[in-house]
């Protein structure tokens, strides 16, 4: 038996005040929102321990996972991270100042630039991503493996359905 939670209390209040409403979706979305908030807080702890903000980690991780030579043009990087060009420029400025990325002229087009990980940036993101994946594994360990697989299946289906409706 699962213990009642704060969402149950909210749902009971609405049931009392508005028994005509179907509250099932409100309860699910309320719990998903609370899970997302807790996860975001716990994940941020790892990034902070590595001297990074979430957005900075995202940039370093995108460069690292693109493979050798760990470089992308700023537009491709912004598209990958679903960021505006202005938002990307601010992040790149901070990361470059910290010595984690550099801006190089694109060998194929001297008018363009590529953003590349420095050795320091690569070492940092490698440490941070290891700690990040270990932390995420720890956070989900409260669920049995079968439930994690089912949660992944359901989340994937929900995202696909929402994307199709968009």
Say if residues 99 and 121 touch (Cβ distance below 8 Å).
yes
pTM comes to 0.86
Pick from 108, 113, 42: which is nearest to 76 by CA?
113
The pLDDT score that the predictor gives to residue 39 is 97
The pLDDT score that the predictor gives to residue 106 is 75
The pLDDT score that the predictor gives to residue 22 is 95
Rounded Cα distance, 33 and 39, in Å: 10
The pLDDT score that the predictor gives to residue 112 is 81
Q: Which band of pLDDT confidence, cut at 50, 70 and 90, is reported for residue 84?
A: confident
User: pLDDT, tens digit, for every residue of 114-157?
Assistant: 999 999 999 999 999 999 999 999 999 999 999 999 999 999 99
Task: Please state the rounded mean pLDDT for residues 95-123.
Answer: 90
């Amino acid at each position: 038996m699962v213990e009642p939670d704060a969402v149950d209390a909210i749902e009971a209040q609405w049931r009392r005040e508005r028994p005509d409403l179907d509250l099932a979706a409100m309860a699910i979305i309320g719990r998903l929102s609370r899970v997302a908030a807790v996860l975001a807080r716990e994940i941020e702890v790892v990034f902070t321990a590595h001297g990074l903000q979430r957005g900075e980690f995202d940039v370093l991780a995108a460069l690292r996972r693109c493979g050798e030579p760990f470089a992308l043009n700023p537009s491709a990087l912004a598209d990958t991270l679903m960021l505006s060009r202005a938002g990307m420029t601010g992040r790149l400025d901070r990361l470059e100042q910290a010595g984690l990325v550099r801006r190089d002229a694109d060998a194929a087009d001297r008018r363009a630039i590529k953003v590349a990980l420095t050795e320091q940036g690569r070492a940092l993101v490698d440490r941070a991503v290891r700690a990040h994946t270990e932390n995420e594994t720890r956070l989900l360990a409260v669920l049995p493996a079968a439930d994690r697989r089912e949660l992944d299946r359901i989340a994937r289906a929900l995202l696909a359905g929402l994307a199709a409706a968009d």
